[in-house]
């Protein structure tokens, strides 16, 4: 909801500077208006200096505006949707994640600062469960249950999509839970882990990553990418299973994480070489016997 507020502020500022007004009839919102608004977003000052407007951010503002004009069109407030001929052009980019070596560096890093230790623990827990920041922040003891295999599982519902998720607890995640098992957090002391604000987590995580000598822009959300790529897919977990663990509704969403790493390529080719060599030896042996 807060993002729509930001889009509205940009739109009001655009109306004021371009049209010298604070409001405009819906029937005057046309394709030209949309193009002018896009051009304004590409050249205006951002609402916050710390959050400059990149191409994808601009496309998100236009998408929110498009949702409003679509509603207006459906309700016959306007005859034609001004976005009918507008194509959103998002810039694709590789999602940052930690390799197994980098993940080990973060796990083994000696820390003395109390806050950094907590953030590191929560981040590592997310790396081995795939939970998003908000789902981790709201994790409660009642969501740790005995699963179908008799082991501990996380049963939760994703805040973003309301999709039910069931995640078996890996040993690294269990160790962190045990570390905080006797402490309560949050207003009602009913939360499992001491998760700080997202801004504070990212600030502390930046320091941790720098101490490890890792030259990557790693945010807390990178833990989810690390789980999908390094912890599961790279270790042979099928894409369909990873999709269920992440709580994705469509397999195509999970395929974004299915990057093929050099290590995995090397391992797969090594298996292929072994099979080919074995097949070649059998053929040679068969030819010798026939002769």
Question: Cβ of 39: how many Cβ atoms within 10 Å?
Answer: 13
Distance of CA 67 to the CA centre of its chain: 23
Residue 95 has pLDDT above 80, yes or no: no
On the 0-12 / 13-18 / 19+ scale of CB atoms within 10 A, 28 is exposed
Measure the CA dihedral 64/66/69/73, to 10°.
-130
The pLDDT assigned to 259 comes to 61
Residue 201 has pLDDT above 80, yes or no: yes
Instruction: Give the pLDDT confidence of 242-282 residue by residue, as tens digits.
Output: 999 999 888 887 877 766 555 666 777 888 888 888 877 76
The residue ranking higher by pLDDT, 48 or 50, is 48
Q: Is residue 165 a contact partner of residue 154, using CB atoms and an 8 Å limit?
A: yes
Which residue ranges make up each domain of the chain?
2-74, 100-259
Q: Which fold has domain 100-259?
A: hpI Integrase; Chain A (1.10.443)
d(CA 19, CA 153) in angstroms, rounded, equals 57
**Is residue 144 within a helix (H) or strand (E), and if so which, with residue range?**
strand 144-146
Instruction: Give the pLDDT confidence of 116-132 residue by residue, as tens digits.
Output: 999 999 999 999 999 99
- Identify the sign of the CA torsion 37, 40, 41, 44: negative
Residue 223 has pLDDT above 60, yes or no: yes
d(CA 278, CA 283) in angstroms, rounded, equals 9
């Amino acid at each position: 909801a807060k993002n729509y507020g930001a889009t509205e502020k940009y739109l009001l500022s655009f109306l004021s500077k371009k049209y010298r007004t604070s409001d405009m009839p819906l029937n005057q919102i046309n394709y030209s208006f949309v193009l002018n608004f896009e051009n304004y977003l590409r050249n205006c000052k951002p609402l916050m200096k710390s959050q400059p407007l990149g191409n994808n951010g601009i496309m998100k503002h236009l998408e929110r505006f498009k949702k409003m004009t679509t509603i207006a069109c459906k309700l016959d407030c306007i005859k034609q949707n001004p976005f009918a001929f507008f194509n959103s052009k998002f810039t694709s980019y590789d999602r940052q994640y930690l390799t197994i070596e980098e993940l080990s560096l973060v796990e083994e890093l000696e820390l003395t600062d109390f806050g950094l230790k907590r953030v590191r623990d929560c981040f590592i827990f997310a790396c081995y469960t795939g939970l998003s920041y908000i789902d981790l922040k709201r994790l409660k003891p009642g969501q740790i249950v005995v699963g179908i295999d008799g082991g501990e599982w996380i049963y939760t519902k994703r805040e973003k999509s309301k999709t039910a998720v069931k995640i078996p607890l890996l040993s690294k995640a269990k160790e962190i839970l045990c570390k905080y098992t006797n402490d309560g957090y949050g207003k009602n002391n009913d939360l499992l882990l001491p998760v700080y604000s997202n801004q504070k987590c990212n600030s502390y995580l930046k320091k941790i990553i720098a101490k490890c000598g890792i030259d990557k822009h790693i945010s807390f959300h990178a833990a989810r990418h690390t789980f999908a790529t390094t912890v599961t897919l790279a270790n042979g977990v099928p894409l369909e299973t990873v999709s269920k663990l992440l709580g994705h509704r469509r397999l195509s969403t999970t395929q974004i994480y299915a990057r093929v790493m050099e290590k995995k390529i090397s391992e797969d080719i090594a298996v292929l070489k072994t099979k080919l060599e074995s097949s070649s030896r059998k053929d040679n042996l068969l030819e010798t016997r026939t002769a």
